[in-house]
């Protein structure tokens, strides 16, 4: 759901602060913070291979551009199917993490091959991407988007309608934080190139598929939401790829 579809005052803290009478939106702050942290982690990792060359920054620019387009394109298509968007605000709001992952991965593959880099670079992206996603979900909680179904659990949150809901944003933030730590640990064991990104996609896609049962959404195909269908497609695509060395990497971390 885009921000334009949320009622005024919705969320835990939609406005982070108001310096000089100017509202600073919580979602955008944490989105940019997550992007900055993920970018820093990638550049720091990539410098070990490229040194001070421009390649890390070119690849990072490709990832950001591809992720931005991939995150928006499914939303735009859904809006067009329902007769919109009709305003600039509707064009700019709403995005999907799954589309962002797919779009970013596709553009990085194209650009690295244009640069003559044949070896996958997903290992450099994966830990920072998971950490950035965790930070971004804090913004979702504060804004109130990506919200859960009603529940009687003691840790439920009220987003403004006096209904206790699953804090699905917190669930995902904690999962992504743990995933980032796991991937960072695996990175020390020199895994097969691209293995960590494949692990990220399979792990996150599987988690997100299950988390969708707790989120408010509209079934679209066989009782599943569009996000769940996308999760199945992503997980199937990456799970079928051979990842030699992953098992050895996991064992090395637990030795």
Domain residue extents for the chain: 3-246
57 to 10, 45, 131, 248: CA distances (angstroms): 37, 12, 19, 31
CA 146 to CA 166: how far, in whole Å?
A: 10
CA 238 to CA 243: how far, in whole Å?
A: 9
Q: Which residue is it, tokens 């996000």? A: 227
Please give the pLDDT value at position 250: 42
117 has a pLDDT exceeding 60: yes
Identify the CA nearest to 171 among candidates 198, 146, 152, 193. 146
Rg of the chain over CA atoms, in angstroms? 19
CA 143 to CA 121: how far, in whole Å?
A: 33
Banded model confidence at residue 255, pLDDT cuts 50, 70, 90: very low
pTM for the whole thing? 0.84
Least confident of 14-23, 69-78, 115-124: 69-78
| Buried-state track 168-183, b at ≥16 Cβ within 10 A, e below 16 | bbbbbbebbbebbebb
Quick one: how many helices (H) and strands (E) in the chain?
9, 4
126 has a pLDDT exceeding 90: yes
Banded model confidence at residue 97, pLDDT cuts 50, 70, 90: confident
Please give the pLDDT value at position 101: 86
Higher pLDDT, 112 or 75: 112
Averaged confidence pLDDT in the chain = 84
124 to 39, 72, 79, 94, 111: CA distances (angstroms): 10, 24, 34, 28, 15
Please give the pLDDT value at position 88: 53
54 has a pLDDT exceeding 50: yes
Residue-wise pLDDT for 191-236, tens only, equals: 998 999 999 999 999 999 999 999 988 887 888 988 899 899 999 9
Q: Which two tokens stand for residue 153?
A: 């659990």
| Buried-state track 243-252, b at ≥16 Cβ within 10 A, e below 16 | bebbeebbee
Find out whether 239 and 209 touch, Cβ atoms under 8 Å: no
Banded model confidence at residue 41, pLDDT cuts 50, 70, 90: very high
Least confident of 10-24, 45-59, 129-143, 193-207: 45-59
For 181-218, give the DSSP string: HHHHHHHTT-PPTTHHHHHHHHHHHHHHHHHGGGB---
């Amino acid at each position: 759901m885009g921000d334009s579809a949320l009622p005024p005052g919705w969320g835990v803290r939609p406005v982070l602060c108001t310096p000089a009478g100017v509202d600073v939106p919580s979602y955008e702050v944490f989105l940019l913070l997550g992007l900055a942290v993920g970018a820093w982690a990638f550049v720091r990792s990539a410098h070990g291979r490229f040194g001070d060359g421009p390649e890390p920054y070119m690849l990072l620019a490709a990832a950001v551009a591809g992720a931005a387009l991939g995150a928006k394109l499914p939303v735009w298509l859904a809006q067009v199917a329902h007769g919109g968007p009709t305003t600039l605000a509707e064009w700019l709001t709403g995005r999907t993490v799954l589309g962002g992952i797919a779009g970013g991965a596709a553009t990085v593959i194209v650009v690295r091959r244009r640069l003559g880099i044949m070896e996958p670079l997903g290992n450099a992206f994966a830990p920072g991407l998971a950490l950035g996603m965790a930070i971004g979900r804090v913004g979702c909680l504060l804004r109130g988007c990506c919200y859960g179904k009603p529940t009687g659990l003691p840790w439920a949150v009220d987003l403004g309608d006096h209904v206790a809901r699953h804090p699905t944003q917190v669930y995902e933030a904690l999962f992504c934080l743990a995933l980032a730590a796991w991937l960072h640990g695996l990175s020390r064991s020199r895994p097969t190139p691209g293995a960590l990104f494949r692990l990220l996609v399979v792990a996150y896609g599987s988690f997100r598929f299950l988390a969708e049962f707790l989120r408010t959404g509209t079934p679209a195909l066989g009782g599943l939401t569009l996000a769940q269908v996308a999760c199945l497609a992503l997980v199937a695509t990456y799970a079928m790829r051979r990842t030699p060395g992953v098992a050895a990497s996991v064992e090395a971390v637990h030795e």
